[in-house]
Structure 1
Amino acid sequence: MKRRSLQQLRIVCALVLVIFSMSLVLAEGVKEQEVVQKPSNSLTFLSYGAWRVHPGWDEMLKGFEAKYGASVTIIYAPPAQIYNKLVTTLAAKSSELDVIVVDTMWMPSFVSAGFLSPLPEAQIKKEEFLKAAIEAYSKDGKMYAMPQFVVAGFTFYRTDLFEAAGLDPKKPPKNWADLLSYAQKLTIDKNKDGVPEQWGFGYCGLDIGADFLEFMWQNGGNILDAQGNVVVNSPEVVEALQFFVDLRNKYKVVPPSVITDMPEDLRRGFTAGQIAMIRNWPYVWATSNAADSPIKGKVAMIPNPGNKVPTATTFGAWGLAIPEYSQNKELANKFVEYMTSYEGQRILFLSGGEMPSRKAVYDDPAVKAAQPMASVMLEALMGAYNRPMVVENQEVLAIAGRAWQEALSATKTPQKALDDAAAAIKSILKK
C-alpha cells in the first residue's frame, strides 16, 4: 500500500508541475521580445543531455557545419530540464534558441501559445513519414516540427518459456483471445501453493499514458474522437477496460503488482523468468540481447496483439522545431532538414538504435542487416496512435489514468469509472 501511495504521489506531483509550468507560459506571453544578437552562420540548439556522447549525433553535427560553413552551439539538458528551459525562454520571447527538441505532448500548448514557427511546406514530404508523426507535429495543415526519432510500445515474450509450456515460439499471439489463452498456459504455480511462480503476461497499470491506452485503441476506442468529443466511456473503451481488469482480477494471469508496476519492474520480472510475456518499450529488446544478458537469444518482439483493430501502440517522438523568435530561421530550417533527413535518421538508427520517423529507413539494407527487428518495428508503428492532442492533455490523461486505477483496484466498475472520467474530462475541456 505504501508503494502504491508513493507511486501515485509522484504522478500527482509531476502533473502539478506541468500544469503550473504551462500557467507560466500563458502568464509570460505578454512580454516584449528579447533579442540575442549572433552571427548569421551561427545557431544555438537545445538538445538532449544524453546525446553529448552519441557518436551518430556528433557525426551528423560535423557534417552540417562542414556543408553550410555554420557554427552550432548546443545546450544539453535532461528532458525535464529541457521543458522548463523552453517554457522560460519562449515565454520571454527570447531569440536565444534557434532550434529546439520537442516532445509530442508539448506541441498543443506550444503551438497554441505561438511559440513555434511553421516549417516551409516545400521541405516536407508528409508521405515519407509515419502518419502518427505527421499528426503529432501538425496543426491546421501546418507542420511545426520535423519528427526525428520515435518510440512505441511492443509485446515481448520468452521463447524458452513458450517451449517449456508447449507453445510454438514461431506462432505468437495475434489477438486478445490468443493473448489470454497463451497467458493462461504460461501462468504456472510450480509448488501448488496458490501463488504462481511464473505469470503469463504483464503490463504497467500505473503507466497512465501508455499501456491501457493501447488496449483501448486495439478495441476501436479512444478518449476523444476526431471532432474532440469525449468518448472515453464508449462501449469500446468499457469493453477494453473490462478485459484489462479481468486479466488481473478474474483470469489472474498477470501479477497483482501490475497495478503499481512500471516498465523496469516488468523488465526485471521478465528477465528473471517470473513473467513470460510483457508489454514494454524497445529498450527491453536491447537489454535482453546485451552480451551479458542471461536471456540473450531467448526473447522475441512483436506488435501488440489487437482485437477489433489488428494492432495498436502508443506513439511518442522527439522532433526538431524552430522558435518563432529565432533570428536565424533560414539556417535553422536547413539544420532541421539536414538532421531529420533519410541519411540522418539512418545514422541514428545504426549508431544508437533510435527508431526513425521516416518509413523507408526501416527497409534500408544496412538497417535490416544490423537491426533484425526493423520490420516488426515498422509494422507496429503503422498502427501507432497519439495521446490526446489538446492543450489539456496532461490533465485529461491524469483523469483517465485515475479511472484505470479505480477499475483495477475494484473500487469502481469499468463503466462507473469511465462515466466519471468522461464527466471530469468534459468539465476540463469546457474551461
Structure 2
Amino acid sequence: MRIPRIAAALLTTVGLAAAVVGCADNSLQVAVDSQHEYLDGRGPITFVQGKDNSGVLPPLVARWNTTHPGEQVTIKEQTDQADQQHQDLVQHFQARDTGYDVVTVDVVWTAEFAARGWLQQLAGSMGVDTSGLIPATVHGASYGGQLWAMPTTSDGGMLFYRKDLVSAPPTTWSEMMSDCSIAHEHHIGCYAGQFAQYEGLTVNAAEAINSAGGSIVADDGVTPTVDSPKAKAGLAALAAAFADGNIPRAALTFQEEQSRQAFQTGQALFMRNWPYVYSLMSAEGSEVAGKFGIAPLPGHDGIGNSSLGGHNAAINVFSQHKATARDFLEFLASDEQQRSFLEVGSLAPVRASLYHDPALQSEFPYLETLLTSIQNAVPRPVSPYYPAITRAVQSNVYSLLQGTKDVDTAAHDISASIGAAQS
C-alpha cells in the first residue's frame, strides 16, 4: 500500500479537500468529490463488521429496525481475522462499492482509510455528537485534526496479578521486576504478555515505549521517533526482562490466549491482557478464580500507558444513504447501545458515565481500573502508513527480544523501515 506523500502531508495539516492539490491520483479526486454527495440520502443501509462472536448484533439490529421501518439495517459479517477484514474493506473501497454503508474499522485503520479518501468526514451536516465520550476514544477516531469515525467500543490493557502471592500490585515496571523474586520462589514465570510476532507485539512494544515517555512516530504520523533515548529505554526494559528470565522465553510464542492460559493455570505471577479474560479466569474450574487482582499497567514513574484498543464505525464515502448512516453512528454510541455492548458482549463502552454505574460495577468489578487504563491509553501510531509501521515494529522488536539484535540496532532499523515506507 502506498499513499501519495503529498496527500498524506496535506491531510495531516489542512484536511481532505486540500489533499488533491498537486496530486495526480484520480481515485483520490473521485473520493474527495464524493464527500459532497448523498449527504441527505436516506434508506436501507448495510453495516459491515467482523464476526459477531459475542452476540451483540441481533439485539442491536432489532432495536434499530423496530423504530426505523424505512431505514432498515442489514448486517454483513466478515471473518474473525483482522487482516482479512482489512483486506475486504480495501477491496470494496477500491471498487467504490455503495453497498458497504457503515463499516467497522479497527482504531489503527482510521488514519489509513481517511488518508486514502474512503471515509466520510464527520463535519458540518454530517457532524456527530461526541460529548460524553472518553476523549482518548475520540482521538482514536480522528486524523489530521478531523473526525472520521464514531467511537463504538474501546479497550485497554490491564495488569492481572496473583493477589494471594503479592500483597499489593506494583505501580512501576521496576517494582514489578523486583517482585519477580516471588515468582522464582514459587517456581513460576513472572510476567506474561503478548510477544509472538503479530499485532499484539506492536501493542506490547508501544506500551513499553509510551510508558517510558517515548513514541514510535511523531504527531504527524510519518516522522520516526523510535530511536530517541526514551523510546529505546522502553525497549531496553523489555529486552532486559527476557535476558534475565523475568519474562520466560516461552512468552515469545504468546498471543492473548496463550498468556491467559499461562496465568490461569498458575504459571505466571503477572499478566498483561485485555479485560475479556476476566470472566474466563473467574469461571468455575479456573485455578486462579478468586486469587487474582487487577491494576493499571505499571509505567516508568507510575501508571503506564496502555495501547488504545477498540473499534470505530465509519461511513463509506461512496454510500448513497449517508444521512441514515450518520444517525446510525449516533445510535451505536448512545447510552442504551453502549450499555448493551457491555452487558451482552463484555465490550468496553466509549461513554465515561457507564464506568461509574453502580449496577455495572457490581457485574463488572474491573470497570474503574479499565477506565483508568483507557484514560491513560495512547493510540498506536496514527498514520496512513500504519501497516508498514507495525510490520517494522514486529520484525525488529521480535529480533530484539530473541537477543539477535541490540536496542540501538532494532530502533535504527524500525526508523529506517518507516522512512522507506513513505518513498
TM-score bracket relative to the smaller structure: 0.7 to 0.9
Equivalent residue for 2:232, pick from 206, 219, 238: 238
Deviation at 1:376, TM superposition (A): 0.6
- Aligned residue type for 2:316: P
CA shift in 2, pair 1:383/1:29, >3 Å: same
Provide the C-alpha distance between the structure 2 equivalents of 1:49 and 1:259, rounded to a whole number of angstroms: 28
Deviation at 1:283, TM superposition (A): 2.2
Please name the residue that 2:378 is paired with. Answer: 385
Equivalent residue for 2:243, pick from 224, 246, 249: 249
Kindly provide the CA deviation profile for residues 383-403 of structure 1, in whole angstroms up to 9, marking residues without a partner as x: 111111112112112212222
Deviation at 1:104, TM superposition (A): 1.4
- Aligned residue type for 1:360: S
Q: Does 1:180 align with 2:177?
A: yes
Kindly provide the CA deviation profile for residues 12-55 of structure 1, in whole angstroms up to 9, marking residues without a partner as x: xxxxxxx5999xxx9994898999xxx9431122123225x71x
Q: Does 1:337 align with 2:330?
A: yes
Q: Work out whether residues 42 and 322 of structure 2, in 8 Å CA contact, stay in contact via their aligned partners in 1.
A: no
Deviation at 1:107, TM superposition (A): 1.4
Equivalent residue for 1:141, pick from 137, 142, 145: 145
Q: Note the residue ranges of structure 1 that are not aligned, 5 or more in a row.
A: 1-18, 191-196
Please name the residue that 2:17 is paired with. Answer: none
Kindly provide the CA deviation profile for residues 213-236 of structure 1, in whole angstroms up to 9, marking residues without a partner as x: 111111101111224431101111
Q: Work out whether residues 2 and 421 of structure 2, in 8 Å CA contact, stay in contact via their aligned partners in 1.
A: no
Equivalent residue for 2:415, pick from 410, 418, 422: 422
Q: Does 1:68 align with 2:52?
A: no
Q: Does 1:357 align with 2:359?
A: no
Please name the residue that 1:304 is paired with. Answer: 297
Kindly provide the CA deviation profile for residues 342-363 of structure 1, in whole angstroms up to 9, marking residues without a partner as x: 2210111112210011211211
The number of equivalent residue pairs is: 390
Kindly provide the CA deviation profile for residues 198-252 of structure 1, in whole angstroms up to 9, marking residues without a partner as x: 11222222232211211111110111122443110111122122211111213x2
Please name the residue that 2:50 is paired with. Answer: 48
Q: Work out whether residues 28 and 117 of structure 2, in 8 Å CA contact, stay in contact via their aligned partners in 1.
A: no
- Aligned residue type for 1:288: M
Q: Work out whether residues 153 and 279 of structure 1, in 8 Å CA contact, stay in contact via their aligned partners in 2.
A: yes
Provide the C-alpha distance between the structure 2 equivalents of 1:30 and 1:424, rounded to a whole number of angstroms: 25
Provide the C-alpha distance between the structure 1 equivalents of 2:348 and 2:316, rounded to a whole number of angstroms: 25
Please name the residue that 1:404 is paired with. Answer: 397
CA shift in 2, pair 1:334/1:234, >3 Å: same
Q: Work out whether residues 143 and 382 of structure 2, in 8 Å CA contact, stay in contact via their aligned partners in 1.
A: no
Provide the C-alpha distance between the structure 2 equivalents of 1:204 and 1:141, rounded to a whole number of angstroms: 32
Aligned-residue Cα RMSD (Å) equals: 2.8
Please name the residue that 1:198 is paired with. Answer: 188
Pairs within 5 Å for 1:101-120 = 101-120=104-123
Please name the residue that 1:395 is paired with. Answer: 388
Kindly provide the CA deviation profile for residues 304-340 of structure 1, in whole angstroms up to 9, marking residues without a partner as x: 0011462210112211111111111111111111122
Please name the residue that 2:13 is paired with. Answer: none
Kindly provide the CA deviation profile for residues 103-126 of structure 1, in whole angstroms up to 9, marking residues without a partner as x: 112212211121111224575344
1:185 counterpart SS class: helix
CA shift in 2, pair 1:113/1:40, >3 Å: same
- Aligned residue type for 2:51: G
Deviation at 1:101, TM superposition (A): 1.0
Please name the residue that 1:14 is paired with. Answer: none
Equivalent residue for 2:163, pick from 159, 177, 186: 159
Provide the C-alpha distance between the structure 1 equivalents of 2:28 and 2:373, rounded to a whole number of angstroms: 43
Provide the C-alpha distance between the structure 2 equivalents of 1:213 and 1:84, rounded to a whole number of angstroms: 24
1:209 counterpart SS class: helix
CA shift in 2, pair 1:222/1:309, >3 Å: farther
Please name the residue that 1:8 is paired with. Answer: none
Please name the residue that 1:78 is paired with. Answer: 79
2:73 counterpart SS class: strand
Give the percent of matched residue pairs that are identical in Structure 1 and Structure 2. Answer: 24
Please name the residue that 2:58 is paired with. Answer: 58
Please name the residue that 2:10 is paired with. Answer: none
Equivalent residue for 2:319, pick from 309, 326, 342: 326
The normalised TM-score by structure 1 is 0.83
Provide the C-alpha distance between the structure 2 equivalents of 1:179 and 1:201, rounded to a whole number of angstroms: 9
Provide the C-alpha distance between the structure 2 equivalents of 1:332 and 1:375, rounded to a whole number of angstroms: 32
Provide the C-alpha distance between the structure 2 equivalents of 1:395 and 1:322, rounded to a whole number of angstroms: 25
Q: Work out whether residues 3 and 384 of structure 2, in 8 Å CA contact, stay in contact via their aligned partners in 1.
A: no
Provide the C-alpha distance between the structure 1 equivalents of 2:370 and 2:286, rounded to a whole number of angstroms: 22
Please name the residue that 2:21 is paired with. Answer: none
Equivalent residue for 1:217, pick from 206, 210, 234: 210
Provide the C-alpha distance between the structure 1 equivalents of 2:59 and 2:382, rounded to a whole number of angstroms: 34
Please name the residue that 1:9 is paired with. Answer: none
CA shift in 2, pair 1:84/1:417, >3 Å: closer
1:412 counterpart SS class: coil
Q: Work out whether residues 202 and 394 of structure 2, in 8 Å CA contact, stay in contact via their aligned partners in 1.
A: yes
Q: Work out whether residues 46 and 82 of structure 1, in 8 Å CA contact, stay in contact via their aligned partners in 2.
A: no
Stretch moving more, 320-329 or 132-141: 132-141
Q: Work out whether residues 108 and 391 of structure 1, in 8 Å CA contact, stay in contact via their aligned partners in 2.
A: yes
Q: Work out whether residues 285 and 301 of structure 1, in 8 Å CA contact, stay in contact via their aligned partners in 2.
A: no
Please name the residue that 1:13 is paired with. Answer: none
Provide the C-alpha distance between the structure 2 equivalents of 1:340 and 1:378, rounded to a whole number of angstroms: 17
Please name the residue that 1:229 is paired with. Answer: 223
CA shift in 2, pair 1:226/1:28, >3 Å: closer
Provide the C-alpha distance between the structure 2 equivalents of 1:149 and 1:183, rounded to a whole number of angstroms: 34
CA shift in 2, pair 1:93/1:307, >3 Å: same
